[in-house]
Amino acid sequence: MRFLTRSLLGLFLLALTLALLAVGGVTLKSAFDIRNADTGPSRPAEERAFTARVVTLSPDRIAPVMTAFGEVRSRRQLELRAAAAGPIVELTPEFADGTAVEAGQLLVRIDPADAQSALDLARTGMREAEAEMRDAERALGLAHDDLAAAQVQEALRAQALERQKGIAGRGLGTAADLEAAELAMSNASQGVVSRRQALAQAEARVEKAVTALDRQGLTVADAERRLAETELRAEFSGVLSGVTAVAGGLVAKTEKLGELIDPEALEVAFRVSTAQYARLIDGGGRLKPLPVKAAVDVLGAELTARGSLARVDAAVGAGLSGRLVFATLDTARGFRPGDFVTLEIAEPPLDGVALIPARAVGSDGTLLVLGPGDRLESAPAEVLRRQGDDVIVRVGALAGREIVVERTSLLGAGILVRPVRGNGAALAEGTEHHATLVDLTPERRAALIAFVEGSGAMPEEAKSRVLAQLREERVPAEIVSRIEARMGG
């Protein structure tokens, strides 16, 4: 039995060997046939041509748009500080963060008891000074009358003395009568002097009374001012922020109780480079009143406002560069001080220029121009502005020429290309960005809608747009991520 098994195994191995030899022989014969076959006449190698998108340069009039980023500020902002010390006895219900108040509206009243007492005492002293003034004026009038009477008496005594002297000159009078007349004249003169002294004293009393009345008037005015300082009123119409006062609280003098901000007088402060600033001024170095557009993104809904350039900061801060420029906003609905906004500044238009993709310009500042025979040529490009993914170049001698708009490392001067022509929409087809849409679970959608509906920072117009997007079957992922970031999710 063992002999039979070994015989069969040997026959199998012999058959397998013969089969392998036959396959090897056939393969070797095929190789020789291919080698000896006639290949025919050889063809020369063809030059490789690359595909390139091209567009025709045409001179146009384009207004460049400068993009900057800044912070919204209020031109009218007032710190509310207590001008008097004491407990708060009255706090208006509108004295809270985010509440709008009118000019002159009472906000806080501090206990006025001490100030009112001081004012009452000052007014009492004022009445006393007025009474003293009236007495001094009456005394002055009497002094004038007394002096006039004394002067009349002096005149009569002078006439009597002259008459007595005349009688004595005719030898009719006596020496005693003349002496008595002279003595009466002397007494009358002395009386006039005394009345003049009394008049001077009356005038001095009036002057003192006037001074005392003025001093008391100042005291009354100071007491009225201190009483008015116990009331804190709004200097202008605005919105309250940072309120810290509470009813019954004890405040110190000059303690900050909050801030009053005018939400209508808004401006944007933004910083530009020196080169950008040079394009915003005229020949005299004055800032041009160029129009600006401010935009802020609130939970995916963009708020916009229009304005114009207003002024530039007088100095460059330490460690900073460029220029700090301010732009006023005309109507800024939904904007609040502290918002970070994107500004688009419309510069004066440029003539004879074209807007092309930035990738069309090489690192050496050249363009690839389509030449005769569809071969590329290198031409210098004068780049005037860069706007995002595009640049504005001066056309000049390249007017009507076709340039490559999608430059790659395989393309260069002298390269043969197959030009692909199309309009601007076709050129941007490959770079157009589409928003990613996501599906939401009912619970997640309800939470997002509830958060947006309860948000007080969004205006109604923006809120309605966001809610409409959230109720769609598929929602943009960017909006979802922004809202969840605000929710803390």
Domains of the chain: 76-108+235-260 (2.40.50.100), 114-228 (1.10.287.620), 265-346 (no CATH), 350-427 (2.40.420), 437-487 (no CATH)
pLDDT tops 50 at residue 433: no
What is residue 111's DSSP assignment?
A: -
pLDDT at 46: 65
What H or E segment, with its residue span, contains residue 340? strand 340-346
Pair 262, 85: CB distance under 8 Å: no
pLDDT at 429 over 50: no
pLDDT band with cut points at 50, 70 and 90 for residue 473? confident
Contacts of 443 (CB under 8 A, 6+ apart): none
Dist CA 206 CA 138 (whole Å): 9
Give residue for tokens 């595009």: 390
| Spacing of C-alpha 438 from chain mean position | 36
* Sequence-distant (≥ 6) Cβ neighbours of residue 413 within 8 angstroms: 368, 376, 377, 378
Global pTM?
Answer: 0.59
Give me the helices (H) in 346-488, please.
Answer: 424-427, 442-453, 460-470, 477-487
Q: What is the pLDDT of residues 392-408, one digit of tens each?
A: 999 888 888 889 888 88
pLDDT at 426: 40
Mean pLDDT of 201-213: 90
pLDDT at 123: 92
Q: Report the pLDDT value the prediction gives residue 432, as an integer from 0 to 100.
A: 39
* pLDDT score, position 215: 93
Q: How many residues appear in the chain?
A: 489
Average pLDDT, the chain: 83
| Over residues 362-373, mean pLDDT | 87
- Summarised one tens digit per residue, pLDDT across range 133-186 is 999 989 888 888 888 888 888 888 788 777 777 776 776 666 777 777 778 778
Average pLDDT over residues 56-61: 89
Q: Would you state the pLDDT for residue 12?
A: 80
Query: How many other C-beta atoms can be found within 10 angstroms of the C-beta atom of residue 247?
Result: 11
Sign of CA dihedral 327, 333, 336, 340: negative
Three-class SS of residue 334?
Answer: coil
Q: What is the pLDDT of residue 301?
A: 66
Residue 110 is encoded by which pair of tokens?
């501090």
8 A C-beta contact, residue 295 and residue 304: yes
pLDDT in tens, 439-467: 888 888 888 888 888 776 666 777 777 88
What is the structure's pLDDT at 117?
Answer: 92
Determine contact, residues 77/259, Cβ cutoff 8 Å. yes
Torsion angle of alpha carbons 188, 194, 197, 201, nearest 10°? -130
**pLDDT surpassing 50 at residue 427:** no
Res 344 pLDDT > 80: yes
Find the farthest-apart pair of alpha carbons in the chain and give their distance in angstroms, rounded: 215
Whether residue 270 is predicted with pLDDT greater than 90 in this model: the reply is yes
Higher pLDDT, 486 or 348: 348
pLDDT value of position 271: 92
Residue 121 confidence class, pLDDT cut points 50, 70, 90 = very high
Question: Region 38-61: what's the mean pLDDT?
Answer: 74
Q: Mean pLDDT across the stretch 115-141?
A: 91
What does the pLDDT average to over 20-34?
Answer: 80
Distance of alpha carbon 474 from alpha carbon 188, whole angstroms? 119
Cα(336)–Cα(18) distance, rounded to whole angstroms?
95
The pLDDT assigned to 155 comes to 83
Q: Give the pLDDT score at 45.
A: 56
Question: Which residues contact residue 345 at a Cβ distance below 8 angstroms, ignoring those fewer than 6 apart?
Answer: 65, 66, 67, 68, 280, 290, 291, 292, 309, 327
How far is the C-alpha of 370 from the C-alpha of 419, rounded, in Å?
8
Return the closest-CA partner of residue 336 out of 156, 176, 458, 168: 458
Question: Is 50 exceeded by the pLDDT of residue 434?
Answer: no
Q: Report pLDDT digits (tens) over 78-90.
A: 889 998 888 998 8
Please state whether beta strands 417-421 and 50-56 pair in parallel, antiparallel, or not at all (unpaired): parallel
Residue 42 has pLDDT above 60, yes or no: no
Q: What integer is the mean pLDDT of 378-384?
A: 88
- CA nearest to 150, candidates 197, 189, 201, 181: 189
Residue 349, pLDDT score: 87
| Whether pLDDT at 269 is above 90 | yes
Q: What whole-number distance in Å separates Cα of residue 229 and Cα of residue 80?
A: 12
Q: What single DSSP character describes residue 44?
A: P
Separation CA 44–CA 400 (nearest Å): 36
